[in-house]
């Protein structure tokens, strides 16, 4: 979760004035500090690699607006915050976005529609002009490839020391980065400041950062439950895929061995495996770590919640939250997707997953 003050979190649960702002930047210069818009939202999705956040915006359909946003290299920065009772304010950045699609309708109610992904879109477009080689630390190499496409600062908190064999990539820079961090049990994305972050894949054992509840001082507007077993696995088998004649290691198996889990391998869910292989896996230890990371994502699909809540713009995919359902049942969930509306009065939509039994309250 983006770091905010205690007063900010308290204000979300009580009365406050919502503030939003969208800025227009080009070449490091601020062109428009407060862009006029009709509606907008930021959608964040941590379930897949690549683009993590997308800004959707509808603006008044004037020729001046079209010309302002049209030039290549134009970026948008969105914010949402609060004005406290004493008149002070606190704003939360929502991301740095590249204008990817721009449409304009004409007429009395003419408008301009914008779809703006985060800076990873620039990485996806920066395909290799010639075959490129990676060799060494998987996470460090992924960061190197990302920085070569978007020259910004990076932060690496991933604990993996996975080393990869020499690998040649043909054209797809995005595919290379995704494969490298997956083999290391990590993820790479652009944060709210538009900078590169590499970190371990979030897991449910982390401490909750926010409580979503109904009732007095609650933020929950509505909730729905779902279970999707079609692509849920409780065993991941990582296999060697040597391309350089190296002696292969034995298949490494990560399984859901928690008897309290809905997808326990010894329970009614059964033994449902999925397989992962990559030439980037060089040792049994690295393969097992990758298998455990994939398992953490796949088993969680057994228990899902769709939440509608008062907007907390600091929430991110990968955050662990405590959900208190009507009736008092407490569940620990990990956020997969979250929307942050830029319109006052629109609720926040959150989807989560958990492998904890319903009503389980962690000690």
Rounded to 10 degrees, the C-alpha dihedral 346/351/356/359 comes to 30
Please name the residue ranges forming H helices in the chain.
6-12, 63-69, 120-125, 138-149, 173-183, 284-298
Q: List, in order, residues 6 or more apart from 110 with CB less than 8 Å away.
A: 60, 61, 104
* pLDDT, mean over the chain: 86
pLDDT of residue 116: 92
Mean of the pLDDT values across residues 239-259?
77
Residue whose entry in the numeric block shows the structure tokens 């683009």:
51
pLDDT digits (tens, 9 = 90+) for 113-134: 889 999 999 999 999 999 999 9
Mean of the pLDDT values across residues 156-166?
87
Tell whether the torsion through CA atoms of 140, 145, 146 and 147 is positive or negative. Answer: positive
pLDDT digits (tens, 9 = 90+) for 304-320: 888 889 999 999 999 99
319 and 335 Cβ atoms separated by less than 8 Å:
yes
């Amino acid at each position: 979760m983006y770091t905010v003050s205690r007063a900010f979190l308290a204000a979300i649960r009580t009365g406050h004035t919502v503030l939003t702002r969208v800025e227009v930047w080009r070449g490091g210069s601020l062109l428009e500090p407060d862009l006029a818009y009709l509606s907008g939202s930021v959608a964040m999705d941590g379930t897949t690699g690549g683009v993590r956040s997308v800004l959707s915006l509808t603006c008044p359909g004037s020729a001046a607006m079209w010309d302002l946003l049209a030039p290549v290299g134009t970026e948008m920065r969105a914010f949402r915050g609060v004005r406290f009772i004493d008149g002070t304010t606190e704003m939360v950045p929502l991301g740095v976005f590249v204008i990817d699609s721009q449409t304009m309708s004409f007429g009395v109610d003419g408008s301009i529609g914008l779809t703006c992904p985060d800076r990873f879109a620039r990485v996806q477009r920066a395909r290799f002009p010639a075959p490129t080689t990676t060799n060494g630390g998987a996470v460090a190499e992924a960061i190197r490839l990302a920085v070569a496409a978007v020259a910004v600062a990076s932060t690496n908190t991933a604990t993996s020391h996975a080393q990869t064999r020499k690998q040649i990539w043909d054209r797809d820079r995005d595919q290379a980065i995704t494969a490298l961090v997956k083999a290391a049990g990590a993820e790479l994305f652009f944060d709210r400041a538009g900078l590169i972050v590499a970190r371990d894949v979030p897991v449910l054992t982390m401490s909750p950062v926010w409580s979503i509840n109904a009732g007095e001082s609650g933020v929950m507007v509505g909730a729905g439950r779902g279970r999707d077993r079609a692509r849920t696995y409780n065993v991941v088998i990582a296999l060697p895929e040597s391309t350089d004649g190296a002696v292969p290691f034995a298949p490494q198996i990560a399984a859901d061995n928690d008897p309290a889990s809905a997808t326990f391998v010894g329970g009614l869910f059964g033994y449902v495996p999925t397989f992962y292989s990559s030439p980037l896996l060089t040792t049994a230890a690295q393969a097992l770590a990758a298998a455990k990371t994939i398992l953490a994502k796949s088993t969680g699909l057994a228990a899902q919640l769709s939440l509608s809540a008062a907007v907390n713009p600091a929430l991110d995919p990968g955050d662990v939250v405590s959900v208190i359902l009507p009736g008092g049942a407490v569940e620990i969930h990990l956020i997969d997707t979250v929307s942050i509306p830029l319109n006052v009065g629109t609720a926040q939509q959150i989807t989560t997953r958990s492998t904890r039994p319903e009503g389980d309250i962690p000690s």
